[in-house]
């Protein structure tokens, strides 16, 4: 009698459960699935017969509500709200677990939060950049304009336009002019620093000639040095013409600042020397990238020196080491800060060595251009066709590198929209974009390295190729975990190849036909190689995969 009632109850329970819109699974106390309703079959993407007998794999605690991820075949996940109540099944105590699909709600929440974050970030960035631009505009206009007027009127007075001046008045007008010039210099320096910090300082990228820059700087400093009784000399060990890569106006500005300081902080009778040349062994303290030849300008003085504990801070804005009598030497404490930033913008550096009471040596490092200038000319002459094909690959690589983020977004959007990957819409952005950004960045570097090595085998190109192989292998193995087929993977690579070419085409109307064609041939070759490697890795990984995971704790869930 008892047994019959319980069988009836079970039948009723089953009927109710079968009709429920939520996924329901009955799990034994030791975690084995005993029953799954049709909604659960849809949620798990598996039949009831496939589910029953499997380990549920998630601790069921009666009365608890948890957010979980239901793992479907091919590793797609669905977010669900899991609730557990205790029940009886076949006269045994069991758990009735209901699972409600909340993926859409979750996605909408995430999207709203993401949009909010992006909006806030944009507003903040725009406000910061607007504040910087306003500041720059204010500095350049509101301060410089009246200052120039002050200087202009002082000059008019000095010329006697408003009537003749007594010697005393003339002296006072002279002081107005000197202070005005000093202030204008200061405003210009603050403006320069603000521009560098705001990333708004445009530098000319070119090849500069050392001799010319040195002559111009000397023309400005020689009279000051003579006035202070300091011997100023220039010397070079460089045979032939020494050339550097950088903006020669800015290099001259740095040299003028270094020479000016050297003269300022050296007592009369002292010496200031400017040496320049080329080396492949720069000082260790110079923050320079890559083993290559460097051009240096070295300003040495026999002046008062800088205490060791102050050496690190003199490149910070507004730092002045010397108080007392040396402070009479005018300055703002901005020159070195600007100079080092400029040097680093030109891919070089500015370093210092100094000994108190003996003197200081400041060295400006810049990429050397002598070898490059000569070799490029020779290369163009000897192999005009190769030069035409390869020159410009570096620039194409730079465009690709600059556009990695938008490229990645477009690539993911196309994967999600298009028919290339089944179920891509349900996959997370990070799953879809995995490895791709790194791969594209490496392709960009390969293009630059091929131009740099003029198509000859080089360590950098070999290195880049090996990195691509590693990425392609990892990518294939990761796609195997998602249950992708070789066909899907091949289509994904071809889509990436298309995207890289699209970005390049958009990025440079100025690229020559030859270099563009060469870049596309290289990209095709790299993609082909990567496709083969990753399909091999996918096949290998698919052969030894463990049994499927059914459910996992959600990252964003409360429990």
- Residues forming contacts to ligand ADP in the complex (CB under 6 A) are 257, 261-262, 265, 301, 303-306, 314, 319-322, 331-337, 360
Residue with smaller CB distance to ligand ADP, 257 or 534: 257
**Sole residue written with tokens 């005393």:** 168
To the nearest 10°, the Cα dihedral for 481, 482, 487, 491?
Answer: -120
Residue with smaller CB distance to ligand ADP, 305 or 508: 305
Euclidean distance between CA atoms 176 and 472, whole angstroms: 69
DSSP string, 386-417: HHHHHTTHHHHHHHHHHTHHHHHHHHHHHHHH
Residue with smaller CB distance to ligand ADP, 319 or 401: 319
DSSP SS3 for 352: strand
Residue with smaller CB distance to ligand ADP, 85 or 231: 231
Residue with smaller CB distance to ligand ADP, 314 or 443: 314
Closest residue to ligand ADP in the complex (CB): 331
Residue with smaller CB distance to ligand ADP, 97 or 262: 262
Give the pairing of strands 243-245 and 294-301. unpaired
Task: Output the smallest distance, CB 191 to ligand ADP, in A.
Answer: 15
Task: Output the smallest distance, CB 302 to ligand ADP, in A.
Answer: 10
Task: Output the smallest distance, CB 274 to ligand ADP, in A.
Answer: 12
Length of the chain: 559
Task: Output the smallest distance, CB 142 to ligand ADP, in A.
Answer: 23
Q: Give 504's contacts (C-beta < 8 A, 6+ positions apart).
A: 396, 399, 400, 511, 516, 519, 520
Task: Output the smallest distance, CB 351 to ligand ADP, in A.
Answer: 13
DSSP string, 49-101: HHHTTSB--S---TT-EEEEEEE-GGG-EEEEEEEEEEEEETTEEEEEEEEEE
Neighbours of 149 (CB within 10 A): 11
Residue with smaller CB distance to ligand ADP, 208 or 303: 303
Q: Contact, 232 vs 300, CB < 8 A? A: no
Give the pairing of strands 349-355 and 551-553. unpaired
Residue with smaller CB distance to ligand ADP, 320 or 488: 320
Residue with smaller CB distance to ligand ADP, 208 or 305: 305
Q: Contact, 386 vs 286, CB < 8 A? A: no
Task: Output the smallest distance, CB 271 to ligand ADP, in A.
Answer: 12
User: Quick one: tokens of 166?
Assistant: 């007594």
Residue with smaller CB distance to ligand ADP, 236 or 320: 320
The H or E element that residue 380 is part of is: helix 370-382
Euclidean distance between CA atoms 247 and 366, whole angstroms: 10
Euclidean distance between CA atoms 351 and 366, whole angstroms: 12
CA distances from 142 to 156, 187, 287, 414 (A): 22, 11, 37, 50
Task: Output the smallest distance, CB 347 to ligand ADP, in A.
Answer: 21
Q: What is the largest CA-CA distance in the chain?
A: 130
Task: Output the smallest distance, CB 131 to ligand ADP, in A.
Answer: 25
To the nearest 10°, the Cα dihedral for 271, 272, 274, 275?
Answer: 40
Print burial letters for 357-366: b (CB count within 10 Å at least 16), e (below 16). eebbbbbbbb
Residue with smaller CB distance to ligand ADP, 211 or 322: 322
Taking Cα atoms as reference points, which of 35, 558, 118 lies closest to residue 44?
Answer: 35
Task: Output the smallest distance, CB 506 to ligand ADP, in A.
Answer: 43
User: Quick one: tokens of 157?
Assistant: 């007075």
Handedness of CA 487, 493, 499, 501 (dihedral sign): negative
Neighbours of 510 (CB within 10 A): 7
Task: Output the smallest distance, CB 338 to ligand ADP, in A.
Answer: 8
Residue with smaller CB distance to ligand ADP, 208 or 331: 331
Task: Output the smallest distance, CB 109 to ligand ADP, in A.
Answer: 52
């Amino acid at each position: 009698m008892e047994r019959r009632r319980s069988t009836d109850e079970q039948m009723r329970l089953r009927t109710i459960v079968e009709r429920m819109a939520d996924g329901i699974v009955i799990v034994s106390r030791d975690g084995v699935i005993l029953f799954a309703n049709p909604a659960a079959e849809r949620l798990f993407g598996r039949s009831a017969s496939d589910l029953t007998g499997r380990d549920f794999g998630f601790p069921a605690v009666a009365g608890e509500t948890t957010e979980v991820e239901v793992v479907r075949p091919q590793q797609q996940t669905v977010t669900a709200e899991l609730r557990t109540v205790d029940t009886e099944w076949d006269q045994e105590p069991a758990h009735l677990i209901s699972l409600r699909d909340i993926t859409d709600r979750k996605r909408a929440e995430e999207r709203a939060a993401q949009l909010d974050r992006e909006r806030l970030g944009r507003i903040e960035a725009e406000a910061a950049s607007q504040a910087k631009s306003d500041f720059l505009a204010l500095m350049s206009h509101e301060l410089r304009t009246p200052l120039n007027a002050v200087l202009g009127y002082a000059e008019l007075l000095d010329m006697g336009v408003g009537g003749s001046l007594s010697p005393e008045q003339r002296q006072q007008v002279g002081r107005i002019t000197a202070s005005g010039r000093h202030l204008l210099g200061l405003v210009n320096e603050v403006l320069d620093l603000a521009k560098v910090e705001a990333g708004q300082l445009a530098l000319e990228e070119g090849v500069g000639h050392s001799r010319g820059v040195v002559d111009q700087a000397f023309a400005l400093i020689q009279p000051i040095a003579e006035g202070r009784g300091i011997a100023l000399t220039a010397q070079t060990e460089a045979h032939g013409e020494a050339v550097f890569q950088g903006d020669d106006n800015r290099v001259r500005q740095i040299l003028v600042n270094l020479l000016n300081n050297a003269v300022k902080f050296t007592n009369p009778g002292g010496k200031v020397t400017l040496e320049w040349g080329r080396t492949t062994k720069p000082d260790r303290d110079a923050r320079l990238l890559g083993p290559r030849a460097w051009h240096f300008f070295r300003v040495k003085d026999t002046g008062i020196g800088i205490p060791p504990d102050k050496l690190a801070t003199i490149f910070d804005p507004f730092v002045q080491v010397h108080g007392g009598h040396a402070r009479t030497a005018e300055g703002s404490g901005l020159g070195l800060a600007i100079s080092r930033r400029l040097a680093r913008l030109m891919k070089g550096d500015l370093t210092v060595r100094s000994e108190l009471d003996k003197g200081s040596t400041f060295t400006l490092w810049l990429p050397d251009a002598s070898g490059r200038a000569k070799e490029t000319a020779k290369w163009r002459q000897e192999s005009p066709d190769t030069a035409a094909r390869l020159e410009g690959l570096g620039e194409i690589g730079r465009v690709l590198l600059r556009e990695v983020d938008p490229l990645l977004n477009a690539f993911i959007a196309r994967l999600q929209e298009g028919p290339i990957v089944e179920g891509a819409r349900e996959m997370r952005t990070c799953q879809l974009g995995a490895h791709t950004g790194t791969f594209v960045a490496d392709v960009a570097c390969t293009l630059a390295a091929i131009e740099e090595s003029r198509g000859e085998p080089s360590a950098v190109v070999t290195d880049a190729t090996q990195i691509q192989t590693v990425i392609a292998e990892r990518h294939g193995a990761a796609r195997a975990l998602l249950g992708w087929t070789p066909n899907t993977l091949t289509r994904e690579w071809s889509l990436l190849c298309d995207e890289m070419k699209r970005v390049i085409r958009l990025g440079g109307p100025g690229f020559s036909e030859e270099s563009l064609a060469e870049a596309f041939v290289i990209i095709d070759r790299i993609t082909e190689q990567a496709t083969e490697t990753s399909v091999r890795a996918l096949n290998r990984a698919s052969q030894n995969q463990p049994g499927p995971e059914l459910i996992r704790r959600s990252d964003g869930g409360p429990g």
